[in-house]
Amino acid sequence: MARPMPRVSHMTNAKLGRAIVGLAAAATLTLALNPASAAEAPADRVLQPDKYTSDKGRALGQKYQGALRDLNAKIYHCMPWLEVKPEGIGFYKPKHLDGDIRYLSLNVNVDQQPAPEFTRLSVQDRVSSMFSRYVPHLLRSMATNDLVRDPNLEGFTVITSWLKAMPGSGQPAVMETSAAFIPKALVANFLRGQATVAQLAEGAHVMAWDGETKLGVMKPRAWADDFVLTYKVAGYTPDPKISCQ
């Protein structure tokens, strides 16, 4: 897991472990008897149909409830370092567009330690890196054939947030956020192999935030990045019932 733990010596850990190993057995037993399970993807990550503010949004939410649940489950099990935010999946209207324009949106936190070299990049380059790493791959999971053909859907939104830098002692963690809005026709071309990752970035409307502060529109460059396809959380095997292809 990417979260840092306080650095302490292995010897201290081992001594403490031996001293309270009896307590561990009791704690493990308590946990085993707890009926609450985190093996299922949390249901609150998908916006429920009754929460849309227009008939168009509600109809899409109703029609594709199963597809959105599947998307939530796939990310939960196959990309466990991504955390879908509560109500982070839904047919939302991008705020910068006029009218009842519906995009399938996915809003995730990327659970990663900010490497010093990543922190030293410009915001533009961090946005470009995160776009390259996540947007093309998440679009492949989001844009099913049915959705691409649906005339009521106009595009796709991928929102990624990441820790900007390791917070100092007593300082709050600040997340940077990038939101990429991509028209459906461009996504369809990309999925058919008729547009490159670079062209996907060129045609996307991308905005960024530093914490709660809006940085405005960005023009990311993008390139092929197979991290999502190759990265494995050490020791973790996805639920075999879920297809991670």
Partner 1 sequence: MYGKHWRSVVIGTALLLAAGCASKEEWDIWRSNTSHFQSKEHYDFSMKNRSGAATVTRQDVAMAQSQSWFGKAVTVDQAQILER
Q: Give the Cα separation of 65 and 71 in Å (integer).
A: 10
Residues 6+ away with beta carbon under 8 Å from 203 = 182, 183, 186, 195
Q: How far is the CB of 9 from partner 1 (least distance, A)?
A: 7
**Residue of 197, 180, 33, 16 lying closest to 108 (CA atoms):** 180
Token pair of 179 as six digits: 């939101």
Q: How far is the CB of 202 from partner 1 (least distance, A)?
A: 21
Q: How far is the CB of 145 from partner 1 (least distance, A)?
A: 24
- CB nearer to partner 1: give 69 or 189: 69
Token pair of 92 as six digits: 């939302």
Which positions touch partner 1 (CB under 8 A)?
Answer: 1, 3-9, 12-14, 16-17, 21, 24, 27-28, 31, 37-39, 47, 51-53, 57, 76-77, 80-81, 83, 85, 87-88, 90, 92-95, 105, 107, 109, 111, 157, 159, 161, 163, 167, 169-170, 172-175, 177, 179, 207, 209, 211-212, 214, 233-236, 238-239
Query: Exposure of 141 by Cβ count < 10 A (0-12 exposed, 13-18 middle, 19+ buried)?
Result: middle
- CB nearer to partner 1: give 58 or 189: 58
β-pairing verdict for 205-210 and 213-218:
antiparallel
- CB nearer to partner 1: give 15 or 149: 15
